[in-house]
């Protein structure tokens, strides 16, 4: 079981230089660090199928209603961003064709081919497939997990999604980049609490 994280420990870990950066996650209390991606329900993967983190405590708290908790999570700074991984178009098409349970395969393949033709490329960023999966609502159930695992097999670990203001989300496809998890004690959340953690692209 994870112990609650006290404010002094949170502030010390944020200030001390490390090979990780910190994010919040609101949800059911984890008994251990996640080791795999689980199925997502329809309309519950607006930035892709993965584990969602935010640098905004208040956002995490909204997902921690009732008996749920806010986790403070350490992520490896050296993760590979989805948008920086390029995959041959032929491999993208082949993956979609063979992905068991995936919906809208014809539309997805047509969109991949149009994008490649428009850009004049025979390789595309993995981010393109992620966006198409979201836009075509093709990531629900086990198909979405297959997509996340496909990204990891190509070297991608996570995607950064900008939100309003200084908030951003980190959608993790590869749980191995999660290095440490603690639970934030609600009693320590006061005026000096780090409600907004630093952006990863500014660390």
- Please indicate whether residue 161 or residue 17 has the higher confidence score (pLDDT): 161
| DSSP at 11 | H
Q: State residue 71 phi and psi, 5-degree precision.
A: -95, 145
Query: What is the arithmetic mean of pLDDT over 18-30?
Result: 94
Q: What does the pLDDT look like over 176-194, one tens digit per residue?
A: 999 999 999 999 999 899 9
Question: Distance between CA 197 and CA 192 in Å, rounded?
Answer: 13
pTM as predicted: 0.89
Residue 87 contacts residue 65 (beta carbons within 8 Å)? no
**Pairing status of strand 69-76 against strand 4-5:** unpaired
The 3-class secondary structure across 64-100, one letter per residue, is: CCCCCEEEEEEEECCCCEHHHCEEEHHHHHHHHHHCC
pLDDT of res. 51? 96
**Pairing status of strand 69-76 against strand 20-27:** antiparallel
pLDDT of res. 45? 81
Q: What does the pLDDT look like over 89-104, one tens digit per residue?
A: 999 999 999 999 999 9
């Amino acid at each position: 079981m994870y112990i609650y994280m006290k404010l002094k420990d949170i502030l010390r870990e944020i200030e001390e230089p490390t090979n990780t950066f910190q994010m919040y996650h609101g949800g059911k209390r984890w008994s251990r660090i996640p080791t795999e991606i689980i199925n997502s329900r329809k309309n519950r993967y607006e930035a892709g199928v993965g584990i969602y983190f935010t640098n905004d405590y208040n956002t995490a708290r909204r997902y921690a209603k009732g008996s749920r908790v806010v986790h403070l999570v350490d992520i490896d700074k050296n993760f590979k961003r989805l948008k920086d991984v390029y995959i041959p178009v032929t491999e993208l098409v082949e993956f979609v064709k063979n992905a068991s349970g995936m919906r809208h395969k014809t539309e997805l393949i047509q969109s991949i081919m149009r994008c490649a033709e428009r850009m004049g490329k025979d390789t595309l960023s993995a981010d393109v497939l992620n966006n198409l999966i979201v836009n075509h609502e093709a990531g629900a159930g086990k198909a979405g997990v297959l997509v996340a695992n496909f990204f990891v097999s190509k070297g991608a670990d996570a995607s950064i999604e900008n939100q309003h203001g200084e908030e951003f989300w980190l959608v993790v496809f590869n749980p191995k980049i999660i290095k440490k998890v603690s639970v934030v004690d609600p009693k320590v959340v006061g005026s000096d609490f780090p409600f907004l953690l630093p952006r990863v692209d500014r660390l």
